[in-house]
Amino acid sequence: MTRIVINRINDSDKVIVIYGARQTGKTTLAKEIISALPYRTLSINADQKKYLDVLASRDSAQMAALIGNNEFLFIDEAQRIPEAGINLKIIHDEFPMLKVMVTGSSSLDLASKISEPLTGRKTVFNLYPVSCQELLKVQTSFEVSNRLEELLIYGSYPEILITNSAREKRSCLEEIGGSYLFRDIFDLLNLRNKEKLYDLLRLLAFQIGSEVSVHELSNTLKMNRETVENYLSLLEQTFIIFKLRSFNRNMRKEISKMNKYFFYDLGIRNYIINNFNPLKLRNDTGHLWENFLLAERMKFLAYNQVQVNTYFWRTYTGAELDYVEERDGLLTAYEFKWNHKLVRPPASWVENYGGAFYLISTENWQGFIS
């Protein structure tokens, strides 16, 4: 991702926006990018009031005094700036030779303040927990494979990967989940039903790999459907969950209105249900495997700027595929199995759609995500 962002900075005059959950390494990434650039750089943390007043001023003269003769402006935690979008628009328009990059810990907060003012003036990148594609750049294939169970249980937040003991990893996840990740959501929306949001997350955590009915969630949580849908959207925008829609071509036997929800990080998922047992003591290994592969695939597609439509496929008669990609009109189907065994695509899929089919197991998974 570093190289892609650097190329975009060099080749474009747009504001570079890096979204991501807390603790995913946005500041570290930004410093890496800055160190590789030849520009005179002003780095600002928007938490500091001395900068905040100027950045929120809408006064180009004050901004000019702050920027000076610097060629590159980096603002960390840009969501702290009141009316960030308006003020970034002024900087972009008044200082056309200045390169600008900003980060924000919550896509919802930052996006709501910059999207409209910066229409046509920004390029957005999303940063996720560390991907296996990134791990494979610093570790051998053998070393990454040996970490597989660890990744399925504790996830891949940067701090988790450099923490050794299981007890320390659990403590880190409690800190990330309790003190950072969900606190941002509560603070942003001033939620009154914090327990309801946790209950929703627990339900989703127990349903990875299964179709989710918003109607059933609404009944279980005793919340109206619109609120549940808003919470689901919020959790997606803050990089905690992502969804797969069902693939269908209007065949009557195909499920058409259900989604599956997965977690970008399995450590957070396991923290939510308080289960860090080893795989040999679990009954959800298959679901963890499916979630892991899909999350890694989403990171791979995002970081390599591959444009595809992503789905799962299932019929009411029980035929199913874990994952389907549609790219330039061509379909590729995948089945995920923790233990390698001979698997064939469902006959109804072959008859109606054909296309390539792959089994992804512990023997060949690295090619799928890197």
Q: What is the spatial distance between Cα 16 and Cα 124, in angstroms, rounded to a whole number? A: 6
pLDDT at 251 over 80: no
Tokens representing residue 330 in the block: 């061509």
Nearest-CA neighbor of 17 among 71, 77, 59?
A: 77
- What mean pLDDT, rounded, does the chain reach? 91
Tokens representing residue 123 in the block: 């390029």
Q: How is residue 14 annotated by DSSP?
A: S
Q: What is the spatial distance between Cα 131 and Cα 295, in angstroms, rounded to a whole number? A: 9
* pLDDT band of 340, cuts 50, 70, 90: confident
Residue 237, pLDDT score: 86
| Domains recognised in the chain with CATH numbers | 2-127 (3.40.50.300), 132-369 (1.10.10.10)
Q: What is the spatial distance between Cα 116 and Cα 353, in angstroms, rounded to a whole number? A: 40
| pLDDT tens-digit map of 171-191 | 999 988 877 677 767 766 666
| pLDDT tens-digit map of 94-104 | 999 999 999 98
Are the C-beta atoms of 287 and 113 separated by less than 8 Å? no
Are the C-beta atoms of 246 and 254 separated by less than 8 Å? yes
Q: In what order do the strands lie in the sheet with 72-76?
A: 41-45, 72-76, 99-104, 15-20, 122-127
| pLDDT tens-digit map of 37-87 | 999 999 998 888 888 889 999 999 999 999 999 999 999 988 888 888 999
Q: How far is CA 97 from CA 2, 5, 10, 72, 357, in A?
A: 22, 18, 11, 9, 49
| pLDDT tens-digit map of 1-23 | 888 899 999 999 999 999 988 88
